[in-house]
Chains A and B, each alone.
Chain A
């Protein structure tokens, strides 16, 4: 019997540049923000390297979120966050078709469950209008029930936010990186930035592998943003990881709601979001728990039960459906409730820190903003307008199992094909670990959690990795 652990199956990725190379820009961190910045700079023609300590993209904060494309109706007004969320939304809409990225405009309801919350709806509406989000409607109890017949009759009133939509939180950043590479960008996976020295001309970053030289550093290190920022000499903020636990319900529950159900924010309680996902489930969460640890993403039974009960109160029919997955994500919140974006011209260092839960939406806008801050002209990449596509794994468009010749379906719950799993194991942007494999294919993420397919997936990956050694 051969010992094979899925955790250790994927080999450490190698980089295709030498230690003497001097890049224009090094982006530290391959979360969604780093991936979007990498894309922008590569397209603009800067010689860019993406430096990541894990063996895959999206290995930190970006792996777990509620996958909503926000309009910014409730963003803090006139902040960078507000600006980047709206710009990011626009950018996503411009590129999504070129990249084969999914988008479903479900709209959202901010639901008031009691009179106190009902009293707050008008202020939320005004804030939204002030934020430039025009498509907002106040709904009565009757209008809510008509739109959402399964919702609890306790819903008193709501704001309908037309623009709120669902996207695939994993394929989008993958597409950004792919575009960057296509424009000539390089990636250094499994390179943890340890220290750095600015020699007046360029930075010499010490990493866990070979050193990396670049004229400008962009710190998008997410949960480690403050630690990486110390390298420039001063530390302007502190990351306070905020854990968010989620409960995912089986696909059988998918049609219980039409819109994203958002809470009315109050000072005392953090509300719970109920939304469909691009993968055909219902997601409930997140919690907001500040903690010291940057790595502890354990779930807690009592918290999960509480989330379930809150969801059952809002959507009683959910009780009849099974939980498919539970997980926790960590948001890189900082000691202030705004984005910590700054530029140090003397040291050629740009910080994109404290990008909280809105990062998925804002990243493309933030990337544009940072390129403007950088204020340097390059010769635009000749491939900047070339199309780059990623495979669709969402339920909003035909998937691989609808196209013949896929071998067989390996993961039955999520209908993942042998061809998809094999393809995900290969190439510069192939899966670097088991989480990466799941994010590229959805394998083992369904209701049986690998009962049927984990052994077969392990075997396929082993063979693929071996064949390409």
Chain B
């Protein structure tokens, strides 16, 4: 068993930027762990451009961004333990499987920067055959950019969140033809400019109001998908299916190890300081909620580093009240308010599961204290201000969305 001061789990944008910041603040007894064999996190396999504009004032591809971030960390003396899989968290002890055997650490402070992943086919309960050719965008990216493999020839994309655009680019890179994008909702799930780019520049049919009914095929092979619209059912021949989006935190280890788990966010309850209820545990980046852009995770990493610094310096003991949310809300942050924190809570950010018109309400002990009329898309964050609200330790706070 090794006693260490700070353990950071995950060497992606959030974890590495937190490590860099903590290093600057003078923390040397710090280890970053990652289960992969290289540092950088998800951007490693996002082959497209658009990374680094805010952090480094340059336009980089995902892999270049990941390399740059990892190099910065290593050059500043951050110790990154690769190929280390966290398998257990018990009584403040972290257990890792590593190629050198089982390793245990007892940190004063642990940051979970575990990242997120897409929801694959099973949790969506889709009818049809099983096949290794039914994948997610993340899998396709790893095929195309990390392994240089083309896993199939022509595919359909399920879902139209912004990540589906990345699926198109990755498919193009691998030489896979995209037959259609299929979206159940009546419009695409990202900014509509994307729709026109896909439709007119890339000439890929975008089928909205269209349900995936069945993945056809036998013996682990996909031959086509059946989709249905108001006009009826039809078949689209393909040998691959790419499920996109519906990101959820890679949080099973937290769910397994902590009693108090927030099922709305699929993460731990977290205060405005990114602090969990259990002493010395913090969560930041996409492990808090679905996927946000890398730069947001990067800046959140910097912020959480300062909170960890405060926690260690002042032995800060929080006084926490939980915020709960109803089922219309896909995620919200923070999910607790620390009454004793020097950083006063000023807002809660949330997103809705579906596009909707209605009102966001905040209930304090059952009484409405705030209401905001909104027309929101699932990819838009909505902010709720907290200033001027006095809270007491026994208060119960709930977020509600009511359709108009």
Interface positions of A (Cβ within 8 A of B): 1-7, 248, 250-252, 295-301, 304-305, 308, 320-327, 401-409, 412-413, 415, 433-435, 444, 447-452, 454-456, 458-459, 462
- List the A side residues contacting B404 at CB < 8 Å: none
A-B contact pairs, 23 of them (CB 8 A): A1-B144, A1-B174, A5-B151, A5-B152, A295-B218, A300-B127, A324-B123, A326-B125, A404-B98, A407-B99, A408-B37, A449-B120, A449-B122, A449-B136, A450-B135, A451-B120, A451-B138, A452-B117, A452-B142, A454-B132, A454-B135, A456-B147, A458-B149
Measured CB to CB, the closest approach of chain B to A420, in angstroms, equals 12
Known: A2-B148, A406-B99. 19 other contacts (CB 8 A): A1-B148, A4-B151, A6-B151, A7-B221, A248-B122, A251-B252, A301-B127, A305-B125, A323-B122, A412-B35, A435-B220, A450-B136, A450-B139, A452-B117, A452-B142, A455-B146, A455-B149, A458-B149, A458-B151
**Measured between alpha carbons, how far is A304 from B128 in the docked complex, in Å?**
11
Q: Is the CB of A409 within 8 A of B121?
A: no
Cα–Cα, bound, A4→B34 (Å): 28
B interface bracket (residues with beta carbon within 8 Å of A)? 35 or more
Q: Name which residue of chain A comes closest to B121, CB basis.
A: A449
> How far does the Cβ of A90 sit from chain B's closest Cβ, in whole Å?
35
Partner of A2, one of B135, B139, B150: B150
Instruction: Kindly report which residue of chain A lies nearest to residue B131, judged by CB atoms.
Output: A7
With A298-B128, A298-B129, A404-B101 as known contacts, state yes or no: A434 contacts B220, CB within 8 Å. yes
A299/B147 contact (C-beta < 8 A), A449-B122, A454-B142 known = no
B256 part of interface (Cβ distance < 8 Å): yes
Q: Digit string of B209-230 for contact with A (CB within 8 Å is 1, else 0)?
A: 0000010001111000000000
Closest to B148 in A: A1
Contact with A along B155-187 (1 / 0, CB 8 A): 000000000000000000111000000000000
> Assuming the A-B contacts A320-B263, A407-B99, A450-B120, are A251 and B256 also in contact, with contact meaning beta carbons closer than 8 angstroms in the complex?
yes
B99 touches A450 (CB 8 A): no
Which residues of the other chain, A, contact B76 by a CB distance below 8 angstroms?
none
In the bound assembly, the distance between CA atoms of A383 and B355 in angstroms comes to 68
B127–A444 CB distance below 8 A: no
Q: Give the nearest-CB partner of B85 in chain A.
A: A409
* Cα–Cα, bound, A447→B121 (Å): 10
Give chain B residues whose Cβ lies under 8 Å from the Cβ of A462.
149
B176: nearest chain-A partner, CB-CB:
A1
Task: List, in ascending order, chain B residues with CB within 8 A of A296's CB.
Answer: 218
The chain B residue sitting closest to A457, CB to CB, is B132
Contacts of B152 in A (CB 8 A): 5
Nearest B residue (CB) for A254:
B256
Question: Smallest Cβ distance from A286 to chain B, in angstroms?
Answer: 15
How many whole Å from A10's CB to the nearest CB in chain B?
11
Decide if B128 touches A299 in the complex (CB within 8 Å).
Answer: yes
Q: How far apart are the CA atoms of A153 and B220 in the complex, in Å?
A: 41
A434 to B134, CA, bound (A): 13
Given contact pairs A304-B125, A433-B220, A434-B132, A401 touches B97 in the complex (Cβ within 8 A): yes
Q: Which A residues touch B122, using CB under 8 A?
A: 248, 323-326, 449
- CB-CB under 8 A from B146, the residues of chain A are 455-456
Q: Please state if A327 and B174 are interface contacts (CB–CB under 8 Å).
A: no
Q: A296-B218, A456-B147 are in contact. Are A444 and B132 (CB under 8 A)?
A: yes
B255 close to A (CB within 8 Å): yes
* Closest 10 pairs between A and B when the two form their complex, measured CB to CB: A455-B142, A449-B120, A404-B101, A455-B143, A252-B255, A6-B132, A323-B123, A401-B97, A451-B138, A301-B127
Within B67-112, the residues touching A (CB, 8 Å) are 83, 85, 87, 97-102
Is B296 an interface residue, CB under 8 A from the partner? no
B130, CB-defined interface residue at 8 Å: yes
Tell me how far the C-beta of A300 lies from the nearest C-beta in chain B, rounded to whole angstroms: 5
CB <8 Å contact, B139 and A454: yes
Q: 1/0 per position for B28-47, CB-CB distance to A under 8 A?
A: 00000001010000000000
A residues within 8 A CB of B389?
none
Is the CB–CB distance between B99 and A405 below 8 Å? yes
Residue B324 CB within 8 A of the other chain: no
Q: Are A459 and B121 in contact (CB under 8 A)?
A: no
Task: Using known A-B contacts A250-B252, A401-B85, A459-B149, determine if residue A409 contacts B132 with beta carbons closer than 8 Å.
Answer: no
CB-based contact A402/B149 at 8 Å: no
B132 surroundings in chain A (CB, below 8 A):
5-7, 434, 444, 450, 454
Please determine whether B255 and A402 come into contact, CB atoms closer than 8 angstroms. Answer: no
The residue of chain A having its C-beta at the shortest distance from the C-beta of B251 within the complex is A252
List chain B residues, Cβ under 8 A from A407: 99
- Nearest-CB residue, chain A, relative to B120: A449
- Please report the C-alpha to C-alpha distance between residue A434 and residue B142 in the assembled complex, in whole angstroms: 19
- For the complex formed, measure the closest distance between the CB of A441 and the CB atoms of chain B, giving whole angstroms: 14
Task: Output the nearest chain A residue to B134 by Cβ-Cβ distance.
Answer: A449
* Residue contact A451 to B136, C-beta cutoff 8 Å: yes
0 or 1 for each of B256-274: is its CB under 8 Å from A? (1 = yes) = 1000010100000000000
Question: In the complex, what's the smallest C-beta–C-beta distance from A321 to chain B, in angstroms?
Answer: 8
| B97, B150, B153: the one within 8 Å of A409 (CB) | B97
Chain A, Cβ-Cβ closest to B35: A412
Distance, CA A323 to CA B248, complexed state (A): 13
For A451, give its contact among B97, B118, B127, B173 (CB under 8 Å): B118
B190 interface residue per 8 A CB criterion: no
C-alpha spacing A401/B98, complex, angstroms: 7
Q: In the complex, which residue of chain A has the Cβ closest to the Cβ of B100? A: A404
Q: Min CB distance, A464 to chain B, in Å?
A: 14
Interface centre among B132, B250, B252 (most CB of A within 10 A): B132
Q: How far is it, in angstroms, between the C-alpha of A408 and the C-alpha of B38 when the chains are bound?
A: 11
Q: CB < 8 Å: which of B117, B127, B135, B149 contacts A298?
A: B127
Tell me if B127 and A448 are in contact (CB < 8 A). no
The answer for the CA separation of A298 and B222 in the assembled complex, in Å, is: 11
Instruction: State whether the Cβ of B133 lies closer than 8 Å to any Cβ in chain A.
Output: yes
B126: interface (CB < 8 Å): yes
A451 and B85 form a contact (CB under 8 A): no
Chain B residues, CB < 8 A from A321: 255
A455 touches B139 (CB 8 A): yes
- Which of A450, A452, A458 has a CB less than 8 Å from the CB of B147? A458
- Rounded to whole angstroms, the CA-CA distance of A282 and B87 in the bound complex is 19
Check B97 against A2 for contact (C-beta < 8 Å).
no
Across the two chains, which residue of chain A brings its CB closest to B221?
A7
B220: nearest chain-A partner, CB-CB: A7
Separation of A251 and B256 alpha carbons in the complex (Å): 8
Docked CA distance A447–B136 (Å): 12
Which residues 224-255 of B have a CB within 8 angstroms of A?
A: 248, 250, 252, 255
In this complex, what residue of B is CB-closest to A248?
A: B122
Q: Are B133 and A5 touching (Cβ within 8 A)? A: yes
* Residues of chain A lying within 8 A (CB to CB) of residue B147: 455-456, 458-459
Contact residues in B for A412 (Cβ distance below 8 Å): 35, 85
Closest beta carbon of chain B to A267's beta carbon, Å: 28
Chain B nearest CB from A442 CB (Å) reads 14
Cα(A252)–Cα(B254), bound, Å: 9
Q: Are B129 and A402 in contact (CB under 8 A)?
A: no
